[in-house]
Structure formats: structure tokens, C-alpha cells
Amino acid sequence: MARAPMQLHLKKNQLHEDLGKTPGAEITEADIAKEKSKGGVFAKRAQFAENAKRWNHPGKAKRYPAK
């Protein structure tokens, strides 16, 4: 029997709440590293935030060159 795919149920601004920051505040690399060290769902949220920083958001310049 095949394993069910791993799911991450996202709640908007949940990582901000975990960090004690206001919604819309910048999440730094140090914040991401701190959450990753906690493990579990905190690490998953931090990994998602790290990946999302690389996306091409409307109205912002690309941060990383295409590979």
C-alpha cells in the first residue's frame, strides 16, 4: 500500500505568530534558522518561508538568478 503524500496545512501569518512578529514584518535568515532548529511543524513552516523567498513575487525584483 502506498504512503499518503506529506501535507502541510498553511495558516496565513502562522510563522509570524510563532516568532512573535506582526503580520507583514520581515522574516530574517536568523528567524528561519531558529525555527528550523525547533524541528517538526516549525521546521516545515520555516522551510516553506525560505522557499517562498525565492519565488518571483509581483512588484518585486527577482532576488536570485535563474539556474
> pLDDT digits over 17-28, tens only?
999 999 989 999
**Angle CA 39–13–15, to nearest 5:** 15
Alpha helix stretches (DSSP H) within 1-67: 14-19, 29-38, 40-52
Query: What's the whole-model pTM score?
Result: 0.68
Q: At what angle do helices 29-38 and 40-52 cross, to 10 degrees?
A: 150
**pLDDT tens digits, one per residue of 14-59:** 999 999 999 989 999 999 999 999 999 899 999 999 988 888 767 7
| Better-predicted residue by pLDDT, 5 or 27 | 27
Predicted local confidence at residue 35, as pLDDT: 93
Instruction: Please state, in angstroms and rounded to a whole number, the distance separating the CA atoms of residues 50 and 27.
Output: 9
Rounded mean pLDDT, 4-8: 71
Which cell numbers hold the place of 43? 521546521
